[in-house]
Amino acid sequence: MSTDSPATAAQVLQEASRRRTFAVISHPDAGKSTLTEALALHAQAITSAGAVHGKGGRKGVTSDWMELEKDRGISVTSAALQFGHRDHVMNLVDTPGHADFSEDTYRVLSAVDCAIMLVDAAKGLEEQTRKLFSVCRHRGVPVITFINKWDRRGREALELLDDIQNILEITPVPQVWPVGNAGNFRGLVEAADTEQFLKYTRVPGGTHEAEEEAMDAAAAEAVEGELWPTALEELELALDSGPGWDPQAFREGKITPVFFGSALTNIGVRLLLDAVVDLAPSPDAREMANGDHRPVEEEFAGIVFKIQANMDPAHRDRIAFIRVCSGVFERGMNVTRAASGRSLTTKYAHTVFGAERTVADICYPGDVVGLINATALRVGDTLYVGKKAEFPPLPAFAPEHFAVARPKDISRSKQFRKGISQLDEEGVVQVLTSDRRGDQAPVLAAVGPMQFDVVLHRMEHEFSSPIVLERLPYSLARVTDAAGADVLNKARLVTGEPLTRRSDNALLALFGDKWQLNSFVRGNPDVKLETLIATAD
């Protein structure tokens, strides 16, 4: 760091060591948003936990701030929550659960240092969970496992651990063990202290922390009978079948610590939150695009992993979420945008808690800061001070669903163009244009059809320009060049649809299916047709 920095390298390292930046990943309906709310409750960041649908007079969950999320009871966009726990700063980035919004989740995983993998006790490892775990492994993000809904009927604990071992090829190491089968949840015993039983009493509605009573082994057996020795035997069997706890193996993705509980009734959540402090890694040197690593004590550098408009309906502004990767971020400092080399002043900076904001005067590695109305920024941008830094690009998915968007009211054309442009910048959909259609009838490209529902809702309610969507009969997109475009146009393979151009100026050819694509490739092997973007598989 430079000598005129407000913090020394030692101070930055100390502050970074207090940060835990993590995400919760799961299949839809595994309880991800409920767990996010429970973690905030146990950290005393909120006074009562909300319900996913806000049922029974309960408020909605803090991380689901968008009206569409409240209406449907699912997360469709990521949200950041910052709170304190045990003298640590916790940066929890909530993620969408539905597979149609995987791209947003994958971006979030590039901005965290650890992930909590949520597993439904009855359903076990579901498809979306497996995919997201694979991304964590690819990106080197260590995973803590929380087996949720143990207060409901489900599978055997040892059977679930076998699935984790065999399907994910990672060794589960239990840190706690349930006393009582799924659906008959009596309490927990910690692997490090099998002479103590933690018995829980549910709080009606799960709005507050469950009452926790610690008792010794003799009292536990007196109260729970055979359930107590059975739990100890199962725990011993689970521990004996693995290598035991090893912090280095955890960080290398070879083992995953396992916890049991119920997010809805706030049982076992405190132990999980403590584990994030005790086990999850703090920010470390981050790899850059050129293969070098930028130490956390170096001057400021950060990456834009999300852009969101209209979080504050009263102001209709735009916020760029930046993960601080190194150094000290100070509100008002001048930073350089790596993509353009131009300077940017960070006057309006906030930390966020759901939709709520607090002015951020200073942030350290691991923190998430929101820059308000920094219109030049795009998802994946690197910002830095001093020595140039540029982090690897964030992943994008190959779209599989396409639709033409048109305004219902042509007098709202200005609002239509503004809304479509904003949704493209946020990555809600990819927006494709062509000379024939112009900007009044762009093609929207999506990973999943639910993204179109988000577009319809936000265009009407946020941008005051209701739209109609005309679905197109394509399922594949490939990037080509000018020479390839000439061949494609002459072959007339893009029937009824001209070649489209993405906002990054890439030329995209659309194909109806893989057979049409393969047929063209066989006849034109020299034409450039590249994905250049990842897939959700």
Q: Answer yes or no: is 98 a known binding residue.
A: yes
Q: What is the mean pLDDT of each run of 10 residues along the chain (537 residues)?
A: 64 96 89 86 64 42 46 50 92 71 76 95 91 85 97 95 96 96 94 94 74 94 96 95 88 96 93 96 95 96 86 70 96 94 91 76 94 87 95 81 93 92 85 82 89 89 92 91 86 64 86 89 90 51
Q: At what angle do helices 157-167 and 227-240 cross, to 10 degrees?
A: 20
pLDDT of residue 450: 85
Q: Answer yes or no: is 95 a known binding residue.
A: yes
Reported as a single tens digit per residue, the pLDDT across 221-257 is 999 999 999 999 999 999 998 788 899 999 999 999 9
SS3 of 107-125: the string is HHHCCCCEEEEEEECCCEC
- Backbone torsion region of residue 302, taken as left when φ is above 0, otherwise alpha when ψ lies between -120 and 50, otherwise beta: beta
Name the residue type at position 292: D
Reported as a single tens digit per residue, the pLDDT across 426-461 is 888 889 998 777 778 999 998 888 889 889 998 998
Non-local (6+) Cβ contacts of 60 within 8 A are 50, 51, 52, 53, 54, 69, 70
- The residue among 278, 209, 190 whose CA lies nearest residue 38 is 209
**Cα(439)–Cα(436) distance, rounded to whole angstroms?**
9
Q: Answer yes or no: is 97 a known binding residue.
A: yes
pLDDT of residue 46: 63
**Cα(38)–Cα(13) distance, rounded to whole angstroms?**
30
- The residue among 336, 326, 425 whose CA lies nearest residue 375 is 425
Asked if 352 and 372 touch (Cβ cutoff 8 Å), the reply is no
Q: Answer yes or no: is 537 a known binding residue.
A: no
**Cα(482)–Cα(488) distance, rounded to whole angstroms?**
10
Structure tokens at 344: 């940017």
The structure tokens 């020299």 sit at 526
Domains of the chain as residue ranges with CATH: 24-70+99-279 (3.40.50.300), 286-384 (3.40.50.300), 401-523 (3.30.70.3280)
DSSP string, 210-249: PEEEEEEHHHHHHHHTTHHHHHHHHHHHHHHTS----HHH
Q: Answer yes or no: is 283 a known binding residue.
A: no
Q: How many residues does the chain have?
A: 537
**Cα(206)–Cα(59) distance, rounded to whole angstroms?**
12
**Cα(326)–Cα(265) distance, rounded to whole angstroms?**
38
For residue 416, report the phi and psi dihedrals to the nearest 5 degrees. Answer: -60, -50
Name the residue type at position 161: L
